[in-house]
Structure 1
Amino acid sequence: MSIFAALADPTRRGIVESLARGALSSGEIADQFDISASAISQHLKVLREAQMVRVRAEAQRRIYELDPQGVNELAGWVDELRSYWATRFDALEAELRKPAGKSRKR
């Protein structure tokens, strides 16, 4: 599953936002939502498969945290969009700053 498909679900986005503040056990994650622990487990599975979260065992607990690989992939995509729009806004600004008497190309 792609990162975008995984993040399309509001519960999964909420999980990612919670993990952005720090690692949590599966129980701590489940406590934040009004759905069953098994449903949270399924959401975590989807996020793991999309490489947005990773898990480690600590005794009997499973600790989840954001996966830097998936986060970096998402950040790279956002950076590309920013770059695209920044150049267009710069061109628009330059055009708008031209004196009113000069004809503008359309």
Structure 2
Amino acid sequence: MVPHQPYETDFSDADVDRIFRALADATRRDIVRRTLVEEASVSELAERYAMSFAAVRKHVNVLEEAGLVSNNRIGRERRIRGNPETIRTAQGLLTSYEQLWRGRIDRLDAFLAED
């Protein structure tokens, strides 16, 4: 059975899976948050974490694959920027699931109140 996707989007189920897998990690969520406020190089991002440059680069790659950040090459430097449109899509998906479940709970309450 194919799961119902209640929110209309151009993203496939695989795209949505990539987005939420990427956001499941606290470091990646922090990178997205930081780069939505201000662009940063991977080196600048790596300074803030107790991990190697290579580890931060891997986190950025996961975020890029999910469309949560993009990079802009300026000379030899890659500037990482958060993608608010993908965040809005994720938020819309979560809101639609919340509405779906609230509707089910309301119907269950109404059913139980009939007795």
Aligned to 1:34: 50
Q: Is the CA contact 1:51–1:69 (under 8 Å) kept in the aligned structure 2?
A: no
Aligned to 2:114: 105
After TM superposition, the score normalised by the length of structure 1 is 0.74
How far off is 1:72 after superposition?
A: 2.6
Q: Secondary structure at the match of 1:20?
A: helix
Aligned to 2:81: 65
Q: Is the CA contact 1:54–1:67 (under 8 Å) kept in the aligned structure 2?
A: yes
Q: Is the CA contact 1:25–1:63 (under 8 Å) kept in the aligned structure 2?
A: yes
CA distance in structure 2 between the aligned counterparts of 1:68 and 1:7, rounded to whole angstroms: 13
Task: Output the aligned Cα RMSD.
Answer: 2.5
Structure number with higher relative contact order (C-alpha < 8 Å, ≥ 6 residues apart)? 2
Name stretches of at least 5 consecutive residues in structure 2 with no aligned partner.
Answer: 1-16
Within a 5 Å distance, the mapping from 1:1-106 to structure 2 comes to 2-84=18-100, 87=103, 91=106, 104-106=113-115
Answer with 1 or 2: which has the greater Rg. Answer: 1
Aligned residues: 97
Aligned-pair identity (%): 28
Q: Is the CA contact 2:33–2:82 (under 8 Å) kept in the aligned structure 1?
A: no
Name stretches of at least 5 consecutive residues in structure 1 with no aligned partner.
Answer: 96-103
CA distance in structure 2 between the aligned counterparts of 1:71 and 1:85, rounded to whole angstroms: 21
Query: Structure 1 residues 22, 86: closer, same or farther in 2, change over 3 A?
Result: farther
How far off is 1:79 after superposition?
A: 2.3
Q: Is the CA contact 1:54–1:65 (under 8 Å) kept in the aligned structure 2?
A: yes
Please give the per-residue CA displacement for 1:40-82, whole angstroms capped at 9, x wherever unaligned. 0011001000111000011221111112342232121122134
After TM superposition, the score normalised by the length of structure 2 is 0.69
CA distance in structure 1 between the aligned counterparts of 2:31 and 2:70, rounded to whole angstroms: 12
